[in-house]
Every structure is written in structure tokens, then in C-alpha cells.
Chain A
Amino acid sequence: MKGSEKIKHLYWRAGFGLTPREWETRRHWTVERAVDELFDRASQASALQLDGLTENRSVEELKKLRGKKLDQAKNEGKLQIVELNNGWIKRMVDSRESALLERLCLFWHGHFACELKTPKPALAHLNMLRQHALGNFRDFVKAVARDVAMIRYLNNQQNRKSRPNENFARELLELFTIGRGNYTEKDIKEVARAFTGWSSDARGEYVFRSRQHDYGVKTVFDQSGKFDGDEIVDLILRQKATARFVCYKVYRYFVNERVEERIVEELADDFYASDYDLAGLFRRVFTSDWFYAPANVGTKIKSPIDLMVGMMRSLDVQFGNPKSISFAQRILGQVLFRPPNVAGWPRGKNWIDNATLLLRLNLAESLYNEAEVSFQVKDLKATSASRRLRKMEARTDFQPLVDLYGRGTETEIFTALKDYFLVGSAAIQAQQLAPYVLHDRTENYLKSVTLRLLSLPEYQLC
């Protein structure tokens, strides 16, 4: 495979694709250099922030509010969630930020799937993901167990010695660490006991309520002791199956839905031997020869966020108002902070049905034309049955593409654009597009070819 194809593949899978300018420089880089660049930048990334976060607005305080004041407080919270959502999308798009870190956080957001509804725990949760995305998986899981948004999402506040709630324990085993088939129902009950009293307070901070904690002897994986939550995590990670489960998931997300068992086994051996070092695991994935095998290149169906962020990077898309970004996420079927359930987002073909496919194929053109999108968002909390049309308020900028490629012949422009936008071997030829693009001016040719390429099914893949 050509070096530049490898670079394109790497940046799509480890990031969200390259801007036209980045592509023109980095296409000549070696994989090693590019991987170093990705990891260096990730280590310099800063935490997310939210201006004017209503500090410590407590549940008690909210409960005292009535009528308009309550609505106002709730509305403030909603707007901050929208702001946080947009802030994260902007980081994904901004080429000065760490694409690798944002990509990993998106992966972990689907792995430790959690609904984020209130600003303060949401911000803390996202920064927890950022802090551990490339750290040690053991610390990561222990941080997740103390994460307020997660504690609330999985009812661990109701997990008390007198009346254990198994929700967190079940998902910890089934979805976050070791996976089905490696534990018993009895294990779940015992794990739940170890996390009793791990709770959150009214200010939205983690608190350990010792009076609700069960200090007794628990037996998990046939080992007995007065385990607390941290010791349970250690026990779970002592099982090799946990390393295998994580590597399996990483492979399916970053490499291919069709898993090469042998490779996952090798990854798991190393991951386990490194005591769950995530940076090592990901570096190994991105530098392995098999990562660049043709079967793994240009064969992953982009998630809606991948598609949207990739397009925003390429065409420098600026959304008119914050709600437009949320609207785009909703119609395409992936809303940050709102995974469908604790199992996270489904992958691959699951994104595609007749309705989403047409929207996806037409997305670039709708953004370019600021089209009115006749789409009724399914809203279970809607207050009426009315249906609204929404306009995609967005601006696109073709100038970087024009600057780079605008002086060539039609054939040169077509080849350069195809090379930049499509990953893998797309069959499309310039002659096939000819009747459907503009030939009057070079700039119009470039724009119309771009829009056509972005509406090809092949552009849905990376």
C-alpha cells in the first residue's frame, strides 16, 4: 500500500481525517512519524471547560425552586449541555487539538456509555475520560466507579447495604470489563455489595457513605475477602478475560468488525503483561502491519459523528447556531451524551437504513446549500404533536481546496480530490461525474466534484 494511503487510513481511524492542508504535508510522512505526532499532541491536550457553569447548584436548591425560576434553572442546564456538546465537537474538528485524544474519548464514551444530563457531572465525566483515555485501564475503571454521572446513570446511589442495587455491578462485569460468560449471577451480587455506599452528594460530587457500605466478606471468582470496590476491580483485572474483552472491542472499533482472533489474542497477551497500559495498546494497533492490510482500509462505515466531523474538517463547516450541531446529530442518529443505552452505540451496518442513508448521501449538499431539512425528530418528551421543518444553518469554505488544487486541469483536480476524500479503492471515474458537475469555471468544477464525491456511498466508509 502507498505511504500516503496508510497516512490517510491512520488519521481517519485514529482521528477524524485530515484537513486539506494537513493532508498535503502529512501524506509524505512515515507512519512512525505520524503516530508520534498523534501521541505527542494527545499528551499536551487540556481539559474541557464550561464558562459560567452554575457551580454547585444543588439538588436541594433546585427542589426549592418553583414555576418560572425552576424552568429557568432547567433551561440553563440544558443550554450548558448543548454548549458542552458543541465544545467537544469543536475539539474534534479543530486541527490544533489532539485528534487522537478526541477519537479515543469518543470510543470510551461508547464503552463506558453513560447519559449526561446535567452540566457539572457531565463536564467531570468528559474530563475523566480525557484523563484516562491513554492511561492505565485499571485507574480508568476505578475512576468510572467514582464518577457521579455514572453513579447516577446506573443507580449506584440506591446501592445500599440494606438493599443492594445490582445495576452498576452487572454492567461493570458485562459491558465495561470482562464480558458475558466469565462470571456468575452470584458474582454480580457480591460485586454489588462491594460498591455499596459509593454515592454522590447533592452538590454533584462523589461521596463514600460508610454507613451504607457492606464491610462483610464477599466471594468473587471463588476468592473471599472483605473486598471494597477497588479490590474488586483488581480481582476482575486479574482475569485474563478482561484484557481479551477490551482488546476485542478495540479491534472491532479501530480495525475491523470482522475479528482476527489470533491478533486479538496477541494484543491481549501484551496488554495483560503491560498491566493494562492503554497507550501501549493503541500504539501497537496503529503501528502494526495488519492495521494497514487492504481488508482493513476504507471498509469501516463511518458513525454519524465520524461523518459529520470529517466533513467539518474538510470543508471548514461552521454551524450558524449551537442547536444546528445538535440537530445534525439527531437526524443522523448519534447524539453525544445520549448513547442509546449502557451498551453504547451499535456499529457498522446498524447506522444504515434507507432514511439515514439518503440523509448521509445528501449531507454535504444540504450543508452547502443551507438546505431546509424536512425531518421530524422523534422526541418522546415533545409537548405537542406538531412537526417542524428545520434549517441546516451552516457555512462551508472551499477556499483551502481551491488554493491547493484550483489551478490544475479537470483531470488533475478530480484525481486530487478523489485521493483526498475517498479512502481505499473507489471505482468512480471523472467521466462518470462529467454530466453531473459544472464545467464553466475551474472553481465551480472543483466545488461540484467535491459535492458529488461526498455523496458517493464510498464516502460513507473510512
Chain B
Amino acid sequence: MKRRNFLKASTLASAAAFVPQFLQAFQAGRLENSRTGKILVVVQLSGGNDGLNTIVPYRNDRYYQLRPRLALKPEEILPVSDELGFNPSLAPLRELYDQGWMSIVNSVGYPNPDRSHFRSMDIWHTASGSDEYWSTGWLGRYLDHHCTGCPAHHALEIDSALSLSMKGQDRTGFAMSNPQQLQKTANNKFLQTLRDHDHHDEENVAYLYKTLIDTQSSADYLAQRARRRRSRVKYPVSAFAKDLKQIAELITADCDTRIYYVSLTGFDTHANQRNRQGRLLRQYAEGMAAFVKDLQQNNLLNDTLILTFSEFGRRAAQNASNGTDHGTANNLFLMGGKLQTPGFFNAAPNLDRLDKKDLIYEIDFRQIYSTILDRWLDSDADRIMGRDFQRLALV
């Protein structure tokens, strides 16, 4: 009993006591050199968000012909340009738009689009062509190329599982749904003692032990950072907003994570789309508005770039169940204080020129990734993407 108490006390008092020497030195260095670079936040809308009812071409007759019952009426939408307006649920984003903190890129996609959720999401995650099967993600490859010596949580996904986009060949991002819970799981006393005997020659054994040790140090670090700051901005009540708040608190606590990843699920609106998409877009917009405000109040908006995407848009025409089926090109949002082209980056999608009833992409999403990798994350985009995509005036 005594022995157990002793162990318990010592692990809680100083997790560092159990960390091998080489890691301790590394950790100490990290605390001093906190965030130096810019931050990227990726927001994934899972299920295929209907872009046409998100950013609405409210002056286009064709839109109303294609969607006789699903189209949003001109009086319902929030006009932001002569051609396009916001879905009413996006009202909280209006201020961001007016401040020049939001870019909307229309008609983003890739050649020979795939309409399967899984396949198309994989294509977005890996940045492969639609006839290639890659097992690493674009952010994972960024970690491979730029992250020798980075902590395991350099790229952090707020989720219980890690997305393919965050998996590299040699390095992976870090997944966590809640820092305190993670710390509890990772650092139970038994797993702690395993830290001490990580003397393994065999590659895979060594890899497992290294992953475990890295997980434990990151769990400690993140839990400690997460306690440091409490946000002063009021966030709406939703799981998504809670994730964003978590990210904001880590960023303001000077956490040394550079890439954050978060998802909002439920956009696969085959039936009765209007209410469901409205609810989800409201969650999205309210959460993002609070998040951006939070960053702005802490003078961090200029250091942050937020990318929002979905695996595909939906068909131009509505279906018989007042919903929409899987489509192709879609709009994509960037937010931040340092946007090169605030507002609309390009023209509204052309509804008169469809390919088999689907929108035709004008901008390859890999151009956007390449631009972000180059100009925001200061890395070598061509190496990470495997080819040269033309950069865009986004950041």
C-alpha cells in the first residue's frame, strides 16, 4: 500500500522523473523555444457539404431551375456580392467577411472526380491523383520533410482517431480528443514504467516504444498547456465549438503545435437537406466566429490561417427527396488576418456548363495545398506534393 502511494505521488508530482535523460533535455529546450512560426488550422466538413446552398448564386435563374424546392429564395439569403450570398445560417461569418478575414474560393476540385465519400476523402487527404493510391497524407509528408526534432504533437488532431492526411511515412500527427483524458490514459503507472526499459534493437519494437514515450510526453505537455489559459470569448454550445475552443486555448497558451485539425460531421444530406444543413452550417459559423474573435483578441489572427474543406460538393440539381446527391467541385474557405485576396477569390461556378450534370472544377485543391505549404508553412511544396502545382494569390 505504502509503495503504491509512493509511486502515485511521485508520478503525479513529477512526470519528468520517469522521462529518460535524452528526452528531458529535449523537453527543456522545447519549453523555451515556444511557437515561432505560423499556425495552420484545418477544418474538415465530413460527408460532402452542399456548396451551392452554402454560398448561394441567388441571381442565377439556372440555380432556381435546378433546385425548384431546395433553392434558397433571394429574400432568405445574405447578399455579399452582386451574384452570391450566404446561407442564412452563415450570418455569424458576415463580420469576418466584412473585415477581410475570409476568402472564398469557388469551384475547387480535381480531375476525374470520385463520388465515393471514402475515396474522395482519401484523395483530399493524400493529395494523390484520382487514379493513384497513396498511403501518406499531405500534412504527414510535411512532417516527414520538416520535422526532425519536432514534438509528436507538432500536428494535432482534435479527435479520437488520426486522419490519413496527418500520416506520413516516418512521422505522424497526434490525435487527442481531450488533453486531461489523454493524460490519464497515457500515463497510468504501468505504462509509465515501460518508459524505463526502452532498450530495443529491433526496429518495430523500438518504434512502438518510441511512439509510447512520445505519446506520454506529449500528453503531459498538452495537459499542462491546456490548463494554462481560459478563453474569455463565449463559444456556442456544441462539440465542434468545444474543439475550437480547445485549439484557441492551446494557441494562446503558446503551445508549440503548428498544425491543428478538426472535423464537423453530418453533411451527407441526401434527404430533407434544408434543416439539417442549416443546423450544421450554424454550428460551423457560430463556432468559427467565436474562434476567430478569440484569436483576434489575443493578437494571433495574423499568425493563423484556417482552411475549411469538404470531400466533394453535391450535384447541381436537387433530388426527389429534397436533398442532393454526391457531386464534384465545391467551394472552400480560408480565414485569417493575412489573406492576399479577401472576399471572393474567383467567380461563381458556371451552372450553364456542367459535366454530366456536375459542376466543373476550375482550381485544383492541390494548388491550394501547395500555396499553403510554400507561403504559409515555409516548406518545399513540390517535394511534398510530388509535382509542381501553380501557386495562387491566397496568402
| Chain A residues at the B interface, C-beta cutoff of 8 Å | 170, 298-301, 331, 333, 338, 340-343, 346, 348-350, 352-358, 361-362, 374-387, 424, 427-428, 432, 435-436, 452, 455-458, 460-461
With A333-B161, A432-B193 known to touch, is A382 a contact of B133 (CB < 8 Å)?
no
B268 to A380, Cβ gap below 8 A? yes
B121 in the interface, Cβ–Cβ < 8 Å? yes
B263 in the interface, Cβ–Cβ < 8 Å? yes
B161 to A357, Cβ gap below 8 A? no
B311 in the interface, Cβ–Cβ < 8 Å? yes
B354 in the interface, Cβ–Cβ < 8 Å? no
B214 in the interface, Cβ–Cβ < 8 Å? yes
Which residue of the partner chain, among B118, B135, B211, contacts A350 with CB atoms under 8 Å?
B135
With A354-B152, A385-B280 known to touch, is A457 a contact of B133 (CB < 8 Å)?
no
Docked CA distance A341–B212 (Å): 29
A301 surroundings in chain B (CB, below 8 A): 204, 208
Q: How many A-B residue pairs have CB under 8 A?
A: 147
B161 to A379, Cβ gap below 8 A? no
Which residue of the partner chain, among B3, B118, B172, contacts A353 with CB atoms under 8 Å?
B172
| Min C-beta distance of B9 to chain A, whole Å | 14
The segment from B14-22, B74-82, B184-192, B369-377 found at the interface with A is: B184-192
B191 to A355, Cβ gap below 8 A? no
A456 surroundings in chain B (CB, below 8 A): 194
Which residue of the partner chain, among A340, A374, A432, A435, contacts B118 with CB atoms under 8 Å?
A340
B131 surroundings in chain A (CB, below 8 A): 170
A355 surroundings in chain B (CB, below 8 A): 160-162, 175-176
A354 to B160, Cβ gap below 8 A? no
What are 20 of the A-B contact pairs (CB < 8 Å)?
A299-B202, A301-B208, A331-B160, A349-B204, A350-B135, A353-B175, A354-B174, A354-B214, A354-B215, A355-B175, A358-B186, A374-B160, A377-B161, A378-B263, A381-B268, A385-B264, A385-B266, A427-B199, A435-B7, A458-B205
B152 surroundings in chain A (CB, below 8 A): 354
A382 to B46, Cβ gap below 8 A? yes
Nearest first, the 8 A-B pairs at minimum CB distance are A457-B208, A380-B117, A355-B175, A343-B133, A354-B215, A353-B172, A385-B266, A346-B135
B126 to chain A: closest residue by CB: A341
A383 to B268, Cβ gap below 8 A? yes
B208 to A354, Cβ gap below 8 A? no
Docked CA distance A452–B188 (Å): 12
Number of interface residues of B (CB under 8 A): 63
Docked CA distance A54–B199 (Å): 56
B215 to A381, Cβ gap below 8 A? no
A452 to B190, Cβ gap below 8 A? yes
B133 surroundings in chain A (CB, below 8 A): 341-343
B42-66: contact bitstring with A at CB < 8 Å (1 yes, 0 no)? 0000111000000000000000000
| Min C-beta distance of B199 to chain A, whole Å | 7
A294 to chain B: closest residue by CB: B202
With A340-B122, A385-B264 known to touch, is A457 a contact of B194 (CB < 8 Å)?
yes
A356 surroundings in chain B (CB, below 8 A): 161-162
Which residue of the partner chain, among A381, A435, A452, contacts B4 with CB atoms under 8 Å?
A435
B212 to A357, Cβ gap below 8 A? yes
Which B140-184 residues have a C-beta within 8 angstroms of A? 152, 159-164, 167, 172-177, 181
A455 to B190, Cβ gap below 8 A? yes
Docked CA distance A457–B197 (Å): 11
| Min C-beta distance of B214 to chain A, whole Å | 7
Docked CA distance A458–B198 (Å): 11
A460 surroundings in chain B (CB, below 8 A): 208
B240 in the interface, Cβ–Cβ < 8 Å? yes
B212 to A427, Cβ gap below 8 A? no
B350 in the interface, Cβ–Cβ < 8 Å? no
A436 to B266, Cβ gap below 8 A? no
B193 to A436, Cβ gap below 8 A? yes
A375 to B161, Cβ gap below 8 A? yes
Which residue of the partner chain, among A362, A378, A436, contacts B161 with CB atoms under 8 Å?
A378
B73 in the interface, Cβ–Cβ < 8 Å? no
Which B267-281 residues have a C-beta within 8 angstroms of A? 268, 276, 280
Which residue of the partner chain, among B119, B160, B193, B283, contacts A376 with CB atoms under 8 Å?
B160
Which residue of the partner chain, among B161, B191, B211, B283, contacts A385 with CB atoms under 8 Å?
B283
Docked CA distance A382–B311 (Å): 14
| Min C-beta distance of A16 to chain B, whole Å | 19
With A385-B280, A387-B239, A432-B193 known to touch, is A331 a contact of B161 (CB < 8 Å)?
yes
- Identify 9 new A-B residue pairs, CB closer than 8 A, beyond the known A356-B162, A435-B3: A300-B204, A352-B207, A353-B162, A357-B208, A380-B268, A384-B276, A432-B197, A435-B189, A436-B190
A332 to chain B: closest residue by CB: B161
Docked CA distance A376–B160 (Å): 6
B238 in the interface, Cβ–Cβ < 8 Å? yes
With A355-B175, A380-B265, A385-B265 known to touch, is A427 a contact of B46 (CB < 8 Å)?
no
B191 to A350, Cβ gap below 8 A? no
A170, A385, A432, A435, most chain B CB atoms within 10 A: A385
A378 to B46, Cβ gap below 8 A? yes
B167 surroundings in chain A (CB, below 8 A): 350, 353
| Min C-beta distance of B327 to chain A, whole Å | 15
With A350-B167, A435-B3 known to touch, is A380 a contact of B204 (CB < 8 Å)?
no
Docked CA distance A383–B270 (Å): 10
B199 surroundings in chain A (CB, below 8 A): 427
| Min C-beta distance of B82 to chain A, whole Å | 33
With A300-B204, A380-B121, A385-B238 known to touch, is A455 a contact of B163 (CB < 8 Å)?
no
B121, B204, B239, most chain A CB atoms within 10 A: B204
B268 surroundings in chain A (CB, below 8 A): 380-383
Docked CA distance A301–B205 (Å): 9
| Min C-beta distance of B353 to chain A, whole Å | 22
B194 surroundings in chain A (CB, below 8 A): 456-457
B122 surroundings in chain A (CB, below 8 A): 340-341
Docked CA distance A376–B189 (Å): 26
| Min C-beta distance of A400 to chain B, whole Å | 25
B345 in the interface, Cβ–Cβ < 8 Å? no
